[in-house]
Amino acid sequence: MGQFIGHMGGFFILAAAVMIAGMFFWDSGLVKDKRSVAAAGKTALLAAACGMVYYFLMTYMRNIFGGQTNFFDFGKIFTFFGADKLLNLYQTPSFKESVSGLNMPLFIYAVHFIGGAVFEQYAGTAMFLNFLAAAGGSVCISQIARDVLGDKAADQTVFAILALPFAFALFIPACFGIVFGLTACAAYALYKKRTVLYVILTIAAILTSKLGLLALLLLIPAKVPGLSDLARKLQNSRFFKNPYCCLGALLLILTINGFVIMLTMGGAI
Amino acid sequence: MENSAVQKFSAERLKNISGENKGAIKVFFAAIISRLVLFVLAFAGLRLLGNSRLLSEIFPQSGDVPHYLYLAEHWYASSGEKANLLVFYPFFPICIAFFRLFFRSYIISAIIISYLSFGIAAAYFYKLLKLDYDDEKTAYGLVGLFAAVFGVFFISAHTESLFLMLTAMALYYIRKKNWLATGIIGFCAALTKTQGVLLFLPAVYEILVDAIREKKFCKKSLFTLLVPLGFLCYLLLNYIYGGSFFKFVEYEAAAPWYNTSKWIADGLATSYATGISHFVLSLFIYWPQIIMYFIAVAAIFLGAKNKVRTSYLVFTGAYVGATYFHGWMLSGGRYLSSLLTLYVIYASIENKLVKNIILLIEAVLCITYAVLWMQGQAIM
């Protein structure tokens, strides 16, 4: 419980710092479109809140299945997907191990240096950076969806992504959230025709994890005409117009997600 | 025609200014009366509980007071058992030594400084609130300050009142863009408490925002560099008396303070663990400081929602963060009680019922902790 309170305290003050940094751009007039900033803030908050819900669920499930940890001890839930090994790697990084599996060295070394600077809080740093990246990535995706499909679709798109099975992995102190964030930012850069930025973000994503190669796939919709028309058609289809169908689909996704969390925390996956 | 309009405007402005000053003077006296009332209530409570401690036992011997009085009388020492008093900042002892020239007693001088500083703090806080809020919200902000949970430290010989005054003045002059006054006051604040140097941040925030908006840098704003200079002077004192610029860090880590800088999460976890194992102490020290931490952080978000000036939120965040960067903290509640911007955020709340409930809780805790402090309990 003490650890939980401590981490929550650290997390909220950092979240406040991020918010204040954002408010600087607002106050100084560097950001002019206040409406889209407010929408982006809402999306970021939704993503962060979603991450918190996942943490509670994961800890609860872990407690039910293994009894290995008390309800509020977040630290001990990272014993799946080799996340515990990753936590050791942040503390004492080795280049050889940092390129094994899906890992690549950029994020591991970044956490090593930043975590070392903030009183050796490696797991906390990795977790916070993932939250930040997941929130940032969600904002980028919602901006694209807002431009292409409208305000309502923007929120739905983000919610659908965050409700997907395994979406909890975006918030754990591994590299998934960072890759998602960098890839989503790369997509936004490409959408805004900032090619150089896209290249930089893609390289950063690849250096973070081998999953970052997926950022190259973003070039496909950019090169294939009519994909946004297809998305619009899908949105206007009968299925998505029917609230019962939408609710059913959402419940199905959430149920599958719940099972995934249950099985992962139970050690079956 | 135009001339008469200008004259009318000037006369109205003058009237407003003099009205504001009259209000500030009233607030000054109200603040001092509020401290006297708190003192009387706490003392009456002490006697009702059957405690016969004398005032001469209560005031000079509580917490860090003997250290401040010692410094006012003897100043820092390079060696010996008092060498570790280097952890205390010099401005409060200097003020005590100065007032002692008139009042002949170190402890009375220190208490008079506390009362006067609190009065001036309230007057400047009133002026600060009037810049953004109507009369009602201003009044709520002031009453919120008067009922501060650990408000007892504003009547004792601690640095809290002095620091509160310097904060209120600095924030007011930052808003008025009087950079020289900000620099001088910030310099004094940086020599009063560790958190004093943080007044540099709201100043920098306002300067940067103005510079970007108006695409012009005001050279006078460089006076604000006096604020970090105050902290550098304190480091110099460390060098002179301790032989190292960061000698205070060494002393703080040793007995009796055992304070080391640690990430907030570790400090809060330690507070919780110690609170669980020490029930009585937890009521005075650990639960209040944990709860007040979360209230302060929540207040930052609430302040953003209520459109409280961002520079105040910058100060709040930096102050809370810096205060809780402790491995083993005992005075979190006291430090947060003297965070002035929290009362601005409180004033900004629209819902009167919520405001009144907060005020009631604050007032009850304020009197309770004041009585307990007079009893000699571990209210630090």
Nearest CA in chain A to B262: A119
How many CA atoms lie less than 13 Å away from A195 in the CB half-sphere? Answer: 2
Among A58-67, B218-227, B252-261, the range of highest mean pLDDT: B218-227
Beta partners for A209? A103
pLDDT at A200 over 90: yes
Which among A3, A17, A118 is the nearest to B269, CB-wise?
A3
Res A159 pLDDT > 90 = no
Query: Cβ of A7 and B265 within 8 Å?
Result: yes
Burial environment of residue A92 by CB neighbours within 10 A (0 to 12, 13 to 18, 19 or more):
exposed
ipTM of the prediction:
0.87
DSSP sequence for A102-166: TB-HHHHHHHHHHHHHTTT-HHHHHHHHHHHHHHHHHHHHHHHHHHHH-HHHHHHHHHHHHHSTT
CA distances from B305 to A17, B88, B140, B291, B315 (A): 15, 37, 18, 21, 16
| Residue B7 in this model has a pLDDT that exceeds 70 | no
Q: Does B76 have pLDDT greater than 50? A: yes
Interface touch A2/B266, C-beta < 8 Å: no
Q: What is the pLDDT of residues B262-321, one digit of tens each?
A: 888 888 888 888 888 888 888 888 899 999 999 999 999 999 999 999 999 999 999 999
Do A19 and B261 lie within an 8 Å CB cutoff?
Answer: no
- Are the beta carbons of B313 and A1 separated by less than 8 Å? no
CA A72, distance to chain mean position in Å, is 22
Instruction: Quote the mean pLDDT of chain B.
Output: 91
The verdict on a CB contact (< 8 Å) between A9 and B273 is no
Region A144-152: mean pLDDT is 81
Residue B268: which of A6, A16, A121 has the nearest Cβ? Answer: A6
Weakest mean pLDDT among A118-122, A151-155, B135-139: A118-122
Nearest to B304 among A6, A13, A19 (CB): A19
In chain B, where the domains are located: 22-375
Q: What is the per-residue pLDDT across B182-202, written as a single tens digit (0 to 9) for each?
A: 999 999 999 999 999 999 999
pLDDT of residue B1: 46
Rounded CA-CA distance A206/A137 in Å is 16
